[in-house]
Amino acid sequence: MSRRLRFVDSHTGGEPTRLLLDGIPKPGVGEIREWYLEVRRTHGWLLAAAVNEPRGSDILVGGVYWPAADAASAGEVMFFNNVGLLGMCGHGTIGLVATLAHLGRLGPGRHTLQTPVGEVRALLHDDGSVSVENVPAFRHRKDVAVDVPGYGHFVGDVAWGGNWFYIVEHAQDRIDLSNRDLLTELCWAIRIELRARGITGRGGTEIDHIELSSARDAAPGNDARNFVLCPGKAYDRSPCGTGTSARLACLAADGVLAPGQAWRQESVTGSVFEGRFEPGGIDDDGTAWIRPSITGRAQVTAVGELLIDDAELAAYHWE
Ligand code: PYC
């Protein structure tokens, strides 16, 4: 049997998103965070086929979009990449809103979306840019030291911004595209070492995004430049919406960024998200959380239909 999946591709600051508009049935029961495992079990191979070679590439982030039954919400979205499901995706949400606007399904104004890790709000501005009010973000641990064989000693913060991040202020190597292979291997080695040492996010969850940051390497007018390595070893071409949210949580916790103050986060490719936060609250364990928002813009790049044969099933799988 050949499956047909309608898709729209976009890029947000250079980072691509492939939104699947049909072909993945919405699980009938439970909440969206429970659908996660169900979709992975029943359709993981199809999602993997939709973003990986030969139809996609390692850097492509996918999104399954289900329109909402009621007008109060713009629908549900579940993001994934070359190796599995993501919690939230900031650049992908900006791409989703630009895509739905392109299809005439939504217009300027505020829209609510459900994701497996919580509700997010997106504001489509008249000029086509999009602000995403992300899920609550927080710093879980400050100044976590790790010795990485062959690379040296690193100190970073563990923070949540819709995915788990280990964020390091990194001055040793320039955060520049000409260094992308070196930065990729360094981040991968850090991730392996964190795992080996049992350094995790809350509840023992693996830290699967590594973010290197440098104020020195940012262009004038921007606050910092980052390099973010995603779970499937692809680096984010955008400043990473969830990574910027996690960074805002750390800046807020250190008291170096005030509520409402703009933070211009540049990516390794030079694209920029403008981030801000509003104070959130304090969890039972004393952790302070913020409400981050990220503004950027996306460009629709292609509209089409993927044809995937069930006979290919064995070729695609996630770990
Ligand atoms: O923008 O949040 C993001 C993101 C996550 C993975 C790739 N981009």
CB of 90 within 6 A of ligand 1: the answer is yes
Output the pLDDT for position 70. 77
Q: Is 240 a catalytic residue?
A: yes
Output the pLDDT for position 71. 76
Report the chain's mean pLDDT, rounded to a whole number. Answer: 96
- Length of the chain in residues, anyone? 319
> Confidence band (pLDDT; 50, 70, 90) for 266?
very high
CB of 91 within 6 A of ligand 1: the answer is yes
For residue 319, pLDDT over 80 is answered with: no
CA of residue 14 to ligand 1 center, whole Å: 12
Output the pLDDT for position 317. 73
Residue with tokens 């699947």: 20
CA of residue 2 to ligand 1 center, whole Å: 30
- Which of ligand 1's atoms lies nearest the C-alpha of 61? 7
Percent of the chain topping pLDDT 90: 90
Of 43-47, 163-167, 232-236, where does mean pLDDT reach its minimum? 43-47
Q: Compute the distance between CA of residue 319 and CA of residue 310 in angstroms, rounded to an integer.
A: 19
For residue 316, pLDDT over 90 is answered with: no
Output the pLDDT for position 318. 73
Q: Is 230 a catalytic residue?
A: no
- State whether residue 41 is helix, strand or coil: helix
Closest CA to 188 of 210, 164, 204, 163: 210
Pocket test for ligand 1, best of 19, 91, 244, 269 (most atoms within 8 A of CB): 91
Omega within 30 of 0 (cis) for the link into 54: yes
Q: What's the alpha-carbon Rg for the chain, to the nearest Å?
A: 19
Percent of the chain topping pLDDT 70: 100
CA of residue 16 to ligand 1 center, whole Å: 10
CA of residue 188 to ligand 1 center, whole Å: 17
- Which of ligand 1's atoms lies nearest the C-alpha of 88? 2
Output the pLDDT for position 206. 98
Which residue in 187, 230, 240, 250 is the catalytic one?
Answer: 240
Closest CA to 221 of 159, 186, 265: 265
> Confidence band (pLDDT; 50, 70, 90) for 122?
very high
Pocket test for ligand 1, best of 57, 60, 61 (most atoms within 8 A of CB): 61
For residue 172, pLDDT over 80 is answered with: yes
For residue 169, pLDDT over 80 is answered with: yes
For residue 15, pLDDT over 90 is answered with: yes
Output the pLDDT for position 315. 82
Q: Compute the distance between CA of residue 179 and CA of residue 184 in angstroms, rounded to an integer.
A: 9
Q: Compute the distance between CA of residue 53 and CA of residue 11 in angstroms, rounded to an integer.
A: 18
Average pLDDT score over residue span 293-306: 98
Which residue in 89, 187, 230, 250 is the catalytic one?
Answer: 89
Q: Compute the distance between CA of residue 264 and CA of residue 254 in angstroms, rounded to an integer.
A: 17
Q: Compute the distance between CA of residue 281 and CA of residue 279 in angstroms, rounded to an integer.
A: 7
Average pLDDT score over residue span 150-172: 97
CB of 240 within 6 A of ligand 1: the answer is yes
CB of 116 within 6 A of ligand 1: the answer is no
Phi then psi dihedrals of residue 51, to 5 deg? -110, -20
CB of 298 within 6 A of ligand 1: the answer is no
* Cβ 115 vs Cβ 88: under 8 Å: yes
For residue 9, pLDDT over 80 is answered with: yes
CA of residue 93 to ligand 1 center, whole Å: 9
Average pLDDT score over residue span 155-170: 98
Q: Compute the distance between CA of residue 75 and CA of residue 53 in angstroms, rounded to an integer.
A: 28
For residue 233, is it left (φ>0), alpha (ψ between -120 and 50) or beta? left
CB of 101 within 6 A of ligand 1: the answer is no
Average pLDDT score over residue span 74-87: 95
Output the pLDDT for position 144. 98
Report the first-to-last Cα separation within the chain, whole angstroms. Answer: 25
CB of 161 within 6 A of ligand 1: the answer is no
Average pLDDT score over residue span 77-90: 96
Q: Compute the distance between CA of residue 122 and CA of residue 20 in angstroms, rounded to an integer.
A: 19
Q: Compute the distance between CA of residue 36 and CA of residue 79 in angstroms, rounded to an integer.
A: 10
Pocket test for ligand 1, best of 120, 164, 228 (most atoms within 8 A of CB): 228
For residue 198, pLDDT over 80 is answered with: yes
Whole-model pTM: value is 0.97
Tokens of 122: 């997106």
For residue 72, pLDDT over 90 is answered with: no
Tokens of 92: 């992908």
- Which of ligand 1's atoms lies nearest the C-alpha of 230? 6
How many Cβ atoms are within 10 Å of 229's Cβ, its own excluded? Answer: 25
